[in-house]
Structure 1
Amino acid sequence: SYWAVPEPPDCPSKANSGRSRAVLSQAQTREVIIALDRTISDIEMRLAAARAAQMRNQGVSPSDSAADQGNMRPRLLFVMGIMTTFDNRRRRDSIRKTWMPQGERLRMLEKDKGIVTRFVIGRSANPGPDSEVERAMDAEEKEYNDILRLNHVEGQDGLPLKIQMFLSSALSTWDADFYVKVDDDVHVNIGITRSILARHRSKPRVYIGCMKSGPVIANKSLEVWDCG
């Protein structure tokens, strides 16, 4: 299941985009933040319930010690999903040759540092044994074992749904403090990323990135966001 992000109250719609200027006030911004906080709380409660149910299904009581639970499913620092497409094989190979470990080093990164990195890609519009695209993707996945496939048709419904499906899949597969999304045209310094996230590990509800906040000014020819 997926959780929708609440819409900003009184946010100008496309139908009202003809107005020369629309400003989201500070009061409205606070309402958005409160709504987001409630959504995060709801997600956390659902995750806790899902994890407890999973433990019961695997014969582990949710009241067992943290050490016992850790033996079942190690706690990771972060899971990083690299958004990619079928056409971007060169980008994936560039990442593999630079900052993303391969083979045994990739497994040791997960075991020793608590870091999981995977390319994230969906399915073709016509999957099947005769699909050249699917055969090539299956061969690449078998060779590198660093790809997370989603039950999502590439090119449909856009990137937001794909990211949402990645987060849902990652949450059900790995237990981590952070879930990170990057694109396949970005080269990441894993060491610095690890250091930054480790400093925030003890804090609840940490979000790092571009958050649309503050006054939003929009008209036909200009759109300004305060990314703070």
Structure 2
Amino acid sequence: MRRENRRSKAPSSSAASALVSGRVPLVMAFLSCLAWLYVAGRLWQDAQTRAILSGLLEKRRSGSVPKALSVEDKLRNLGCKAIGRKIVEAEMDLTKAKSEGYLWGNRTAAVDSDKKQKLLAVIGVYTGFGSRRKRNVFRGSWMPRGDALKKLEEKGVVIRFVIGRSANRGDSLDRNIDDENRQTKDFLLLESHEEAAEELPSKAKFFFSATVETWDAEFYVKVEDNINLDLAGLIEMLEGRRGSQGLYMGCMKSGVVINEKWQQWYEPDWWKFGDSKT
């Protein structure tokens, strides 16, 4: 039995050796092909390089080789020289405009101080969405309206009701204010401010920023909508202080500090004034 097994294994080992010996020539042939392709590629690249060099030599001999461009030539070709001149001209125009008193935005240009003086005052009357009746009372009392309001502006005094936008942009509250403003044209709309009782400090910031950006005036005045303003007296007082630098004027209520919400002069921070509330 052992002899038969040995005899049966002998043919299989000889077949395996024959298979291995048959693969070797194939591998060698494949490697030879790769080497041939590599050599052929390098020869082709060398031929292309020689052709390019010979072409450059011919151009140099004939004098047609392009000269090296200077920085000025490169800028001229790119159009940067023309752009640079335009920038310089714009800077000169801007400097000239500033020297003549031009102001950015919609502010009044003081080109001729004799003919176009600064406004005396911009008066902002704080108002709310539910205060239309108060606004109508003001328009019929101390605050001019229509053509009278325009004539007052020509004399240097601008008056506007100041209000922000609703928390729900574009709702009926905003639409009512827009409709009223189209009729009266006496609103200053603070587009970036949300009208709410707790946002009054930010309303003051937006109000003064908007007025300074829109009008060039000597004074910017903030007025509440629960008072009757002596407009003639205010104008007379401001006229006497025209040209003052860094002037701030304000007043506070004197007397008892009200801490009941339902009363007219309620002070939310009444506790800051001490126990006596005065």
In the alignment, structure 1 residue 106 sits paired with structure 2 residue 149: yes
| TM superposition outliers: structure 1 runs of 4+ over 4 Å | 56-60, 69-74, 217-220
Confirm or deny that 1:192 pairs with 2:228. Answer: no
Alignment pair present for 1:134 and 2:168: no
For 1:168-207, list aligned pairs within 5 A. Answer: 168-207=209-248
| Cα distance in 1 between the residues matched to 2:203 and 2:114 | 31
Task: Report whether the alignment pairs 1:153 with 2:153.
Answer: no
Q: Which residue of 2 aligns with 1:221?
A: 275
Q: What RMSD in Å do the two structures reach over aligned CA positions?
A: 3.0
The match for 1:125 is: 167
Which residue, out of 114, 122, 126, partners 1:79? 122
Report the number of matched residues: 162
Aligned CA distance change for structure 1 residues 124 and 72 (closer, same or farther; 3 Å):
farther
- Larger Rg over CA atoms: 2
Q: Partner letter of residue 143 of structure 1?
A: Q
TM-fit CA distance, 1:202: 2.6
Q: Is the 8 A contact 2:110 2:117 kept in 1?
A: no
Q: Distance in 1 between matches of 2:94 and 2:214?
A: 14
Matched-pair contact (CA < 8 Å) for 1:80–1:179 = yes
* Distance of 1:58 and 1:154 partners within structure 2: 38
Provide the C-alpha distance between the structure 1 equivalents of 2:216 and 2:199, rounded to a whole number of angstroms.
Answer: 27
**Any conservation in 2 of the 1:77–1:178 contact (CA below 8 Å)?**
yes
Classify 1:154/1:102 alpha carbon distance in 2 versus 1 (closer, same or farther; 3 Å): same
Alignment correspondent of 1:62: 98
As a proportion of its length, which structure holds more helix? 2
Give a deviation string over 1:180-210, Cα, whole Å, max 9, x none.
Answer: 0000111112111011011111321111113
| Greater Cα offset, 163-172 or 153-162 | 153-162
TM-fit CA distance, 1:64: 1.5
TM-score scaled by length of structure 1: 0.63
- CA 1:71–1:132 in 2, change beyond 3 Å: closer, same or farther? farther
Q: What SS is found at the alignment partner of 1:62?
A: helix
When residues 174 and 223 of structure 1 are mapped into structure 2, their CA distance, relative to the original with a 3 A threshold, is same
CA contact (8 A) 1:74 1:175 kept: no
* 1:223 CA displacement: 5.6
Q: Which has the higher contact order (CA 8 A, sep 6+)?
A: 1
TM-aligned CA deviation for residue 158 of structure 1: 2.5
C-alpha distance 124-59 of structure 1, shift in aligned 2 (>3 A): farther
